[in-house]
């Protein structure tokens, strides 16, 4: 595709765990587990922050820090994105001069930074990014945003990039309109999966495969938009909930016994990939906590979360995700780090 030793503590069932549990006043197994998870989260976060980042990578990293509650880090990430704002309003333009919607992934963090700092320069940068997204960015005849400048293409990962920013910036109607556009071009109702890239110039798919991470981007983007619309958009919210359930069902039909997926979810000859499991677990935890997703999804989320934890190495790198820089092999990537953190933030918030 074009894009894009879990630390264990002494637990029951181990000799060390049995000894520890026999000591009066020793921490409970749950507290031990919580403490070990905290160590892993810190390692994963540190590894993420060591990585070079393009526009969408800066954005998803900032969003992970935002959902973890890292106030100062979010402000710093937003300020750095603004440093690389270009005249048309796009932010974080590093290694990504062709990007149309990727800069929008930074939008919620920038709006948050503007609010907590009351810095008018940050708010101005957010306004410029919003103006680009609403009025200047290239799009199809029906208004669906293109993904890149160099070709009239619509990518499923775009559902995470622009719509959540539009929604939190006060334009939930436009966010829903964009999601409807992406579904129009990319959704396969039989498979209940999104194809990756539609070429609107050639009127054909540039990549018709059901890329796992692309479906994860789409699901996570819709989950964030669901959280944003006002109560007056209850009908639209119900529709988005049904869309998320559809893609969850489509992906989970291909879940491997180990809790992971193939890179192209319905093609077993493609490599086994880690990030989709993190992305879907995040979506399930958020949906269940919000009350719109049924409990039966939680077993799959637990299985996928456990699989992701097994992929974290001693340095905090989440191994086996769709890897940078070309996202065509199992490796490491900022987005793989970020979605581990987003998954953990959502699990913590249950």
Q: 176 with 224: CB under 8 angstroms?
A: no
334's CB contacts (< 8 A; 6+ apart) are 48, 51, 53, 57, 60, 61, 324
Residue 252, helix vs strand vs coil: helix
Domain ranges of the chain: 1-17+28-50+254-350
Residue 316's Cβ-side half-sphere holds a number of Cα atoms within 13 Å equal to 20
Please state which CATH number belongs to domain 1-17+28-50+254-350: 1.50.10.10
Where b means 16+ CB within 10 Å and e means fewer, 57-95 reads bbbbbbbbbbbbebeebbbbbbbbbbebbeeebbbbbbe
Please give the pLDDT value at position 273: 98
For residue 5, the model assigns a pLDDT of 32
Q: What angle do CA 149, 150, 156 make, to 5 degrees?
A: 65
Place of tokens 């000859």: 269
Which parts of the chain have pLDDT scores under 50?
1-27, 32
- Token pair 């699990």 is found at 347
Task: For residue 151, report the phi and psi dihedrals to the nearest 5 degrees.
Answer: -155, 145
Q: Residue written as tokens 């489509």?
A: 250
pLDDT at 28: 57
Q: Quick one: tokens of 251?
A: 């992906």
Global pTM exceeds 0.85: yes
SS3 333: coil
Report residue 137 CA to chain centroid gap: 22
What's the rounded Cα separation, in Å, for the pair 252 and 335? 21
Tell me which residue of 192, 55, 202 sits closest to 132, measured CA to CA: 55
Q: What is the rounded distance in angstroms from the CA atom of residue 194 to the CA atom of residue 208? A: 8
Structure tokens, 271: 């490599």
What DSSP state is assigned to residue 188?
E
* Contact status, residue 218 vs residue 211, Cβ threshold 8 Å: no
CA 265 to CA 253: how far, in whole Å?
A: 9
User: Residue 327 half-sphere exposure, CB side, CA atoms within 13 Å?
Assistant: 18
């Amino acid at each position: 595709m074009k894009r894009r030793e879990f630390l264990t503590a002494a637990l029951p069932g181990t000799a060390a765990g049995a000894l520890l549990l026999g000591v009066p006043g020793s921490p409970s197994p749950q507290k031990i587990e919580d403490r070990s998870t905290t160590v892993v989260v810190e390692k994963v976060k540190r590894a993420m922050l060591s990585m070079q980042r393009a526009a969408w990578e800066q954005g998803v990293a900032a969003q992970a820090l935002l959902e973890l509650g890292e106030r100062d880090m979010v402000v710093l990430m937003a300020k750095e994105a603004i440093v690389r704002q270009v005249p048309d309003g796009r932010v974080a333009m590093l290694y990504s001069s062709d990007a149309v919607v990727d800069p929008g992934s930074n939008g919620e963090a920038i709006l948050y930074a503007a609010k907590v700092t009351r810095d008018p320069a940050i708010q101005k940068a957010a306004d410029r990014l919003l103006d680009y997204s609403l009025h200047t960015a290239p799009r199809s005849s029906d208004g669906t945003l293109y993904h890149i400048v160099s070709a009239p293409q619509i990518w499923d990962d775009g559902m995470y990039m622009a719509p959540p920013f539009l929604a939190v910036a006060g334009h939930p109607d436009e966010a829903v309109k964009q999601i409807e556009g992406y579904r129009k071009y990319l959704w396969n109702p039989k498979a209940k999966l999104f194809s990756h890239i539609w070429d609107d110039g050639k009127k054909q798919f540039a990549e018709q495969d059901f890329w796992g991470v692309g479906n994860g981007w789409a699901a996570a983007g819709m989950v964030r938009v669901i959280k944003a619309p006002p109560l007056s958009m209850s009908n639209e919210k119900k529709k988005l909930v049904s869309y998320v359930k559809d893609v969850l069902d489509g992906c989970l039909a291909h879940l491997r016994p180990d809790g992971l997926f193939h890179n192209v979810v319905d093609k077993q000859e493609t490599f086994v990939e880690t990030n989709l499991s993190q992305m879907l677990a995040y979506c399930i935890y958020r949906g269940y906590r919000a009350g719109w997703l049924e409990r039966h999804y939680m077993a799959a989320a637990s299985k996928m979360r456990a699989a992701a934890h097994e992929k974290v190495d001693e340095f905090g790198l989440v191994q086996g995700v769709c890897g940078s820089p070309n996202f065509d092999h199992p490796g490491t990537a900022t987005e793989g780090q970020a979605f581990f953190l987003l998954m953990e933030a959502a699990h913590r918030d249950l």
